[in-house]
Chains A and B, each alone.
Chain A
Amino acid sequence: SQQGEEDPQALSIQEGENATMNCSYKTSINNLQWYRQNSGRGLVHLILIRSNEREKHSGRLRVTLDTSKKSSSLLITASRAADTASYFCATDAGANPGGGNKLTFGTGTQLKVEL
């Protein structure tokens, strides 16, 4: 079963605008991660935020985590056409139900950045 659900499923913006994607999950977690997938390619790890962190930055990426609401958001600032891809959240539930030695991925948000 899917631990994470991304919202929206698809997002289309103009270059230069900010893109915000949200992820909700069900069980308590050790960390939450965001990945990017270009069409027909493997996933690339973008950023990891631990359960005791509330916000993290990496370049144009900003991730927030609200463990009380079991949700996270990924903000891409000043988007570029090259940011067009699918974005997935993934959770490490550790010893909690659905955890163990594996990440559980959400359903993804398809981002299209138009010139």
Chain B
Amino acid sequence: DAGITQSPRHKVTETGTPVTLRCHQTENHRYMYWYRQDPGHGLRLIHYSYGVKDTDKGEVSDGYSVSRSKTEDFLLTLESATSSQTSVYFCAISPGPPTGELFFGEGSRLTVL
């Protein structure tokens, strides 16, 4: 299994509070991603990173920011959580082209009340 650790695994918070989810990898892969999974929507890309301090937006980036100061860590921040951000969040890593496979973490379940 790819060495990916997400923390926290479960979090309950209130509307308007900031939340940070952490993804840590031990594989030294260049690419890191944050997805959210919601019923009827599958997996949707929030943000991704293609190197230290290099990030880009995905399909559903509004309300989220990311940072990557080290190869192994990719942080997802909800500046002011809303109930629509209640979801399961998955971090993924990839060595990049040409192999291209994504390896996923176990997921972080976030509930915003």
A binds B: no
Mark B residues whose CB is within 8 Å of A: none
